[in-house]
């Protein structure tokens, strides 16, 4: 097991992060943000008096001090996001987005998620953070609402008790709170996240858990789901590389809903169906089966136009990776004593590459004969669409393995770096495919 090394700036306690304070300050220019209590620095200096509407100058002063309590606990805004507002937003999604209306209808009760959201008991700090998210990180806020709809539909279809559905909804609407402590420029569309920036992404579940765990009245099960929503059943996730049953049940549901929302938003239901089929080993099988039943994807749901040139490039890249692995495998095996193979820091690498190779065979791919494969696909637009979807997912799996190797760097210290670096280089997608290969959350 490994742990992502925290980035100091991101791991600071809630209320001290400059990016979040800046977002609250920007909110304060548009609506009143009031101090619920006297705000003190850790050294005992009163920075803001209770009842005062904060000014930009006061917010700037807060960034220069460590506070005695998280900022969320000491501030409130006018017109906050409350449970009724969340229910209204969900109703709007269900009324205007057919995919989500289908999910809700097939869950058994299309209005259940709206009523469940209206019944959430949102602590004041959660309301403030949701309000900041709505105003300053709109896409993140909308993602959280839709993620909640998917997660609740899955939980309802699976027959989870009402209390567990409520905890799952609470986790869904707040699962990206930690990401609000990340520099917005790093998350901006078009920005290529550098390797030394990636730790800021990987630590956001820990950041979210730390700040939610400190909120009175926030359910412990929901906080645990936030902490573990990027873990994967095969151990390839983060921040702790947990496997299988060690991942809390609500986190396993939230993981599927989180990825599903992103793929639905960027692509379509057939693409989501392909993703689920290729990633059976990474996600909870009950959650995956439930989601596939809920989405009930058909060819009519396709909204993505395949590109033949892109398919050729991806097949070529896949062939290069498999050839590189074949050539480098001996170097990796030489670094591991046979009796220690199962406990080796490289065990995950053999497991992931065996899985990828198995998927290639399962899908009937022959990357070394791309022309013949494309020739068959040209005669059937549906087949070409399926081929491109499969190849996009393969490309993402390769890139995700490159990121996992980076995360596991500390535990691989002392191993031969030349073959490791060589494999990472081959796993990286060609430039033209990067936008498609990185559409899902890290």
Same domain, 191 and 283: yes
Our measurement of the distance from residue 78's CA atom to the centroid of its chain's CA atoms, rounded to an integer in Å, reads 30
The phi, psi pair for 303, rounded to 5°, reads -130, 20
Same domain, 106 and 228: yes
Domain membership flag for residue 7: no
Cα distances from 265 to residues 104, 251, 256, 257, 298, in angstroms, run 17, 21, 14, 12, 17
What confidence score (pLDDT) does residue 97 get?
A: 95
* pLDDT tens for each residue of the chain, 442 residues long: 333 344 544 333 334 688 898 899 999 999 999 999 999 998 999 999 999 999 988 888 888 888 888 888 999 999 999 999 999 999 999 999 999 999 999 999 999 999 999 999 999 999 999 999 999 999 999 999 999 999 999 999 999 999 999 999 999 999 999 999 988 877 777 667 777 777 778 899 999 999 999 999 999 999 999 999 999 999 999 999 999 999 999 999 999 999 999 999 988 888 898 888 888 889 999 999 999 999 988 777 777 665 666 777 888 888 899 989 988 888 888 876 554 555 788 889 999 999 988 888 877 777 776 666 666 656 666 666 777 778 888 888 999 999 999 888 888 887 888 889 899 999 987 544 443 444 454 4
Q: Which of 26, 60, 77 is the last residue of a domain?
A: 77
Domain membership flag for residue 171: yes
Q: Dihedral of CA 222/70/203/19: which sign?
A: positive
Domain that holds residue 270: 83-300
Per the structure, the count of domains in the chain is 3
Domain membership flag for residue 63: yes
Greatest Cα pair distance in the chain: 74
Same domain, 189 and 97: yes
Domain membership flag for residue 1: no
Same domain, 121 and 270: yes
d(CA 228, CA 231): 5
Copy the structure tokens of residue 123: 């602590």
CATH code of 263's domain: 1.10.3210.10
Domain membership flag for residue 5: no
Contact status, residue 373 vs residue 315, Cβ threshold 8 Å: yes
d(CA 100, CA 98): 5
Domain membership flag for residue 432: yes
d(CA 274, CA 353): 19
Q: Which of 77, 99, 119 is the last residue of a domain?
A: 77
Same domain, 372 and 254: no
What confidence score (pLDDT) does residue 381 get?
A: 61
Same domain, 110 and 233: yes
Give 9's DSSP letter.
T
Domain membership flag for residue 246: yes
Listed in order, strand segments (DSSP E) in 23-172 are 33-35, 39-40, 46-48, 75-77
What confidence score (pLDDT) does residue 92 get?
A: 97
Same domain, 291 and 318: no
Q: Is 33 helix (H, G, I), strand (E, B) or coil?
A: strand
């Amino acid at each position: 097991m490994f742990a992502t090394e925290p980035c100091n700036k991101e791991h600071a306690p809630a209320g001290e992060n400059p990016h979040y304070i800046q977002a609250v300050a920007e909110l304060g220019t548009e609506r009143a943000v009031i101090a619920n209590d006297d705000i003190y620095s850790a050294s005992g200096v009163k920075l803001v008096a209770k009842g005062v509407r904060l000014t930009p100058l006061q917010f700037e002063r807060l960034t220069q001090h460590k506070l005695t309590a998280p900022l969320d606990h000491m501030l409130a805004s006018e017109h906050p996001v409350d449970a009724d507002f969340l229910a209204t937003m969900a109703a709007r999604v269900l009324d205007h987005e057919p995919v989500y209306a289908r999910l809700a209808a097939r869950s058994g009760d299309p209005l259940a998620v709206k009523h469940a959201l209206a019944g959430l008991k949102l602590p004041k700090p959660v309301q403030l953070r949701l309000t900041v998210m709505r105003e300053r990180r709109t896409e993140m806020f909308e993602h959280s609402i839709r993620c909640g709809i998917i997660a609740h539909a899955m939980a309802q279809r699976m027959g989870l008790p009402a209390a567990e559905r409520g905890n799952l909804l609470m986790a869904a609407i707040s699962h990206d709170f930690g990401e609000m402590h990340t520099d917005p420029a790093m998350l901006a569309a078009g920005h290529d996240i550098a390797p030394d920036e990636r730790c800021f992404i990987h630590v956001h579940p820990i950041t979210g858990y730390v700040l939610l765990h400190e909120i009175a009245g926030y359910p412990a099960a929901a906080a645990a789901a936030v902490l573990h929503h990027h873990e994967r059943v095969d151990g390839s996730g983060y921040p702790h590389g947990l496997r299988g049953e060690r991942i809390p049940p609500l986190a396993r549901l939230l993981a599927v809903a989180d990825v599903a929302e992103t793929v639905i938003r960027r692509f379509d239901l057939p693409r989501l169906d392909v993703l689920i089929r290729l990633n059976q080993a990474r996600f909870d099988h009950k959650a995956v089966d439930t989601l596939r039943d809920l989405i009930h994807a058909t060819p009519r749901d396709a909204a993505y136009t395949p590109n033949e040139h892109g398919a050729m490039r991806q097949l070529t890249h896949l062939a290069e990776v498999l050839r590189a692995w074949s050539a480098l495998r001996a170097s990796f095996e030489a670094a591991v004593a046979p009796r220690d193979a199962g406990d080796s820091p490289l065990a995950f690498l053999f497991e992931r590459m065996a899985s990828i190779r198995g998927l290639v065979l399962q899908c009937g791919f022959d990357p070394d004969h791309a022309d013949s494969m494309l020739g068959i696909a040209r005669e059937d637009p549906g087949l070409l669409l399926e081929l491109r979807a499969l190849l996009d997912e393969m490309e993402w799996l390769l890139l995700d393995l490159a990121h996992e190797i980076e995360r596991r760097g500390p535990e691989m210290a002392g191993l031969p770096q030349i073959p490791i670096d060589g494999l990472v280089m081959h796993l990286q997608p060609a430039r033209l495919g990067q936008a498609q290969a990185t559409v899902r959350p890290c």
